[in-house]
Amino acid sequence: MDRELTTGLTTMVNGDLAPTTSPHAQSQLSAAAPLRGSVLVLIQFDVCEEIRLDVLRKIFGARTAEASFKHQAPGYVRYQRPPVEESLEPLILESGERLEGQIKYYDYGVVSLVFELPFSGGWDTLVQLSCRWTSDTNFEALATRVVKQKLERAAPALVKPYASQEGGSDWLQEDYFIFHVREIDGAPSANDLLAANGDQISQVVRGEMATLSDGERQEILQSRISYYPNDLAVIGWNAAFIYDDPAGAETAIQLLQYANSQLLEFRHYDELLTKELENVYDFLDAGGTGLWGRWRTARAASKLHAMLLDVNELTERADNAIKFLSDMFSARLYKLCAAKVGVPDYKDLVKEKLQTAEAAPAHVGTDAFVRPGGPASPGRSALDSGPDPTLRKPPQSVKKLAAPKERKITAHRASHG
């Protein structure tokens, strides 16, 4: 890349997370230590049910993106179906900043874009970049245009593409920001860095200009992980701070991409199941009698059953897209990434709704669709289309989590009064 953001700003810092840090190390780091690294903007879209990667490779002549991990573990950590990857034309922002980009296509229908901007300067520079970029929505419109252009060529490889209105507003979308510092003057250890610059790291992860409270800083820095003494990853729900060389940082970058793509998929299944269950509840409330009512009931049960089979297959594919057979560090790092962005929450919600949906055919369909382990309710035929009190609507509070984007906007507004 031929453009870098540079600055001569300095900042005084302090911290108390690593009491074992030497006074000499803290005094060296307290003066502004020039940083060199990159800001990565990750934007993902859920565009279709499946992408046929073999067809896509023929269309684009793109390469397969193999998993890259902290230490060599060939055969132990791998993608089940490695995504297809290609480089993008540089993206020029209105500010004149030039971003290099890459795009990945996952077989379960997610398209992932990563734009990278180099930077150098002091901690003030990085905090300012974080605050500005994490609240900038211009990236979404730019990324949407890129994806729409790519998908026009990729159409033969897309299975059941989802509708997209002007601007791509109908696609589920996630964004995430990674602040990768590859070099710091003095090459501090992770402990020294946390002790001297814990405040700034917390601000970067939260996208805040103001210094955070001790409690908030401690909460953010708890979500950290290191493999060697001189590397560090602090993972947040909207952004991550990574201190590592480029090869080492690639582990966290890839796993954050994968975790966010999983989040998108489970959000999609959550919306799909929510809509289908609402249809079932409306159907039961409306009731129905006679031959016509029974035919409609059996048809609704058949449709629900087919949808459940599809969702179970697709969730299993997304959940098992990458395997950790013996690389425990990468497995722990992925678990941390997934937990922070909200994958377990949505996965649990989808499982809960799947269980509710699996019970529904016993109330709206024929015996062929009665939930395993139990017939229709006592005293009721499986063809009875009237409401059954044993099939309860879940409370509103658990029907749907706030979308991650909504949580980000709410948190940002609250933090800025």
Tens of pLDDT, residue by residue over 5-25, are 322 222 223 333 333 344 444
Q: Are residues 235 and 271 in the same domain?
A: no
Both tokens assigned to 199: 């405040």
Both tokens assigned to 148: 């729409």
The answer to whether residue 247 sits within a structural domain is yes
Q: Within the chain, which residues score under 50 in pLDDT? A: 1-32, 68-69, 71-76, 167-168, 365-400, 402, 405-407, 409-417
The answer to whether residue 8 sits within a structural domain is no
pLDDT at 387: 40
Residue position matching structure tokens 């290191």:
226
pTM reported for the whole predicted model? 0.76
Q: Are residues 74 and 222 in the same domain?
A: yes
Q: Which amino acid is at 41?
A: V
CA 217, 218, 223, 224 torsion: positive or negative?
Answer: positive
Alpha-carbon gap, residue 162 to 144, rounded angstroms? 14
Alpha-carbon gap, residue 280 to 376, rounded angstroms? 16
Selection from 379, 391, 395 nearest residue 355 by Cα: 391
Q: Are residues 290 and 252 in the same domain?
A: no
Q: Are residues 247 and 322 in the same domain?
A: no
Three-state DSSP state, 242? strand
Q: Are residues 232 and 325 in the same domain?
A: no
Domain's final residue, options 240, 259, 278: 259
Integer CA distances (angstroms), 256 to 32, 217, 252, 368, 397, in order: 29, 21, 6, 42, 28
pLDDT at 294: 58
CB contact at 8 A, 330 and 70: yes
Alpha-carbon gap, residue 268 to 272, rounded angstroms? 6
Alpha-carbon gap, residue 144 to 99, rounded angstroms? 16
The answer to whether residue 97 sits within a structural domain is yes
Q: Are residues 269 and 250 in the same domain?
A: no
Three-state DSSP state, 281? helix
Q: Are residues 274 and 247 in the same domain?
A: no
Residue 20 is given by DSSP the state: T
Both tokens assigned to 71: 């230490």
The answer to whether residue 1 sits within a structural domain is no
Instruction: Give alpha helix (H) positions in 112-186.
Output: 123-134, 138-154
Q: Are residues 247 and 329 in the same domain?
A: no
Torsion of CA 199, 12, 14, 205, to 10 degrees: 10
Three-state DSSP state, 33? coil
The residues, ordered by sequence, that sit 6+ positions from 22 with a Cβ below 8 Å of its Cβ are 192
Q: Are residues 136 and 270 in the same domain?
A: no
Instruction: Look at the chain and report how many structural domains it folds into.
Output: 2
Q: Are residues 210 and 303 in the same domain?
A: no
Selection from 194, 192, 190 nearest residue 204 by Cα: 194
Integer CA distances (angstroms), 217 to 60, 129, 206, 208, 210, in order: 45, 19, 10, 12, 12
Burial class (CB in 10 A: 0-12, 13-18, 19+), 303: middle
pLDDT at 398: 37
pLDDT tens for 20-66 read 344 444 444 434 458 999 999 999 999 998 999 999 998 987 666 55
The answer to whether residue 12 sits within a structural domain is no
Domain's final residue, options 230, 259, 288: 259
Nearest-Å Rg of the Cα atoms of the chain is 25
Alpha-carbon gap, residue 306 to 144, rounded angstroms? 32
pLDDT at 276: 78
Both tokens assigned to 163: 């509708």
Residue position matching structure tokens 């948190």:
411
Alpha-carbon gap, residue 255 to 416, rounded angstroms? 30
pLDDT at 74: 40
Q: Which amino acid is at 382?
A: A
Strand order of the β-sheet with 110-121 is 63-64, 84-92, 98-105, 110-121, 35-46, 172-184, 239-243, 232-235, 224-225
The residues, ordered by sequence, that sit 6+ positions from 355 with a Cβ below 8 Å of its Cβ are none
The answer to whether residue 13 sits within a structural domain is no
pLDDT at 374: 39
Q: Are residues 28 and 104 in the same domain?
A: yes
Three-state DSSP state, 43? strand
Write phi, then psi, for 224 (nearest 5 degrees). Answer: -120, 160
Q: Are residues 178 and 209 in the same domain?
A: yes
Q: Bridge partners of 241?
A: 179, 234
The answer to whether residue 3 sits within a structural domain is no
Both tokens assigned to 98: 């030039």
pLDDT at 222: 97
The answer to whether residue 5 sits within a structural domain is no
Domain's final residue, options 218, 244, 259: 259
Q: 372 is in which domain, residue-wise? A: 263-415
